[in-house]
Amino acid sequence: MILKTPAIPLRITPYSNTSRVVRWLTPERGRLGTLIKGALRPRGGFLGQYDYFATSELLYYERRKEGLHIARECTMTERRPELRTNWRGGVCASYVTAVADRLTPDDAPSAELFAFLERALDHARFVTERAAEFLLWFELQCCIREGRAPRLECCAACGSPIADGDELGFDVARGGVLHTACRRGGDSAQPVAPDVLALMRAWARAAQPGQAARTRTRPRQRETIGALLGAFLEYHLELPAAPRKAAYFALTAGETLT
């Protein structure tokens, strides 16, 4: 059977001198692996028709038994060329693709995640400043989409709404903010200032990347939210820390150098 789907490469690996294995994110089937025979042959029809950060229309033969399907044809439909030259955008695109790869199930409908990744990649094309804000927003939205939204409105311990002036901490294991008075002996809550909580709440409510990327933040606020979210992602979504560190390091180092 030949199937047709929009698809974005999550990982491209060599298979032989001229063939590649591509793992894609697709709306209907989640993560999907295809073998691309003759991927590098000039007349193979695949050259330039798929790449990282680009959306393609993929035609493939379904071959469930061997794990890999066989690509028959591929046509790039959204190239996003700015991500080759805008280095900040490229860093963001690499990271959001790596996160999508970790969160996408194999062979299960993932239309919402596919649309979310496309929106994030489209936004990354034109990122020239506030790239860290965009990535922090993206991470927070991933938690929400995975059903692991950090608690930001009510105390994670007593459940009562957070009021102005409450002294608060953020406890990763208990899932969000809690009153300092509600902490138990073993809790390892980090203090959370009202400005940091307000930023996280605003990013949790912002459905579009553009809204979050318009927020001005101070380095201290970014560092605090980055540390809280990093620990939260590792604990609740089991996201590895290495790609995240690499992305934030590249952005920070780049800002210092330029």
Cα angle vertex 213, ends 209, 215, to 5°?
130
- CB 5, min distance to Zn ion, A: 47
* Token pair in block for residue 154: 């009510």
Angle separating helix axes 131-145 and 194-205, nearest 10 degrees = 70
Contact partners, residue 43, CB within 8 Å, separation at least 6: none
Residue among 176 and 209 whose Cβ is closer to Zn ion:
176
Residue among 7 and 157 whose Cβ is closer to Zn ion:
157
Q: Tokens 């209907």 correspond to what residue? A: 28
Residue among 124 and 157 whose Cβ is closer to Zn ion:
157
Residue among 69 and 179 whose Cβ is closer to Zn ion:
179
- CB 88, min distance to Zn ion, A: 40
- CB 171, min distance to Zn ion, A: 11
- CB 60, min distance to Zn ion, A: 53
Per-position DSSP letters for 53-89, written without gaps between them: T-EEEEEEE--GGGS-EEEEEEEEEE--THHHH-HHH
CA distance 49 to 220: 43
Reference 125, options 165, 172, 92, 170; nearest CA is 92
Would you say 140 and 150 are in contact if contact means Cβ atoms under 8 Å apart? yes
- Count the Cβ atoms, other than its own, within 10 Å of residue 216: 9
Contact set with Zn ion (CB under 5 A)? 155, 157-158, 179, 182
- CB 186, min distance to Zn ion, A: 16
Residue among 169 and 230 whose Cβ is closer to Zn ion:
169
According to DSSP, the residues that pair with 2 across neighbouring strands are 61
Residue among 8 and 178 whose Cβ is closer to Zn ion:
178
Q: Please, what is the end-to-end C-alpha distance for the chain in angstroms?
A: 52
Residue 205 dihedral angles phi and psi, to the nearest 5°: -85, -20
Residue among 9 and 150 whose Cβ is closer to Zn ion:
150
- CB 173, min distance to Zn ion, A: 15
- CB 177, min distance to Zn ion, A: 9
Would you say 82 and 125 are in contact if contact means Cβ atoms under 8 Å apart? yes
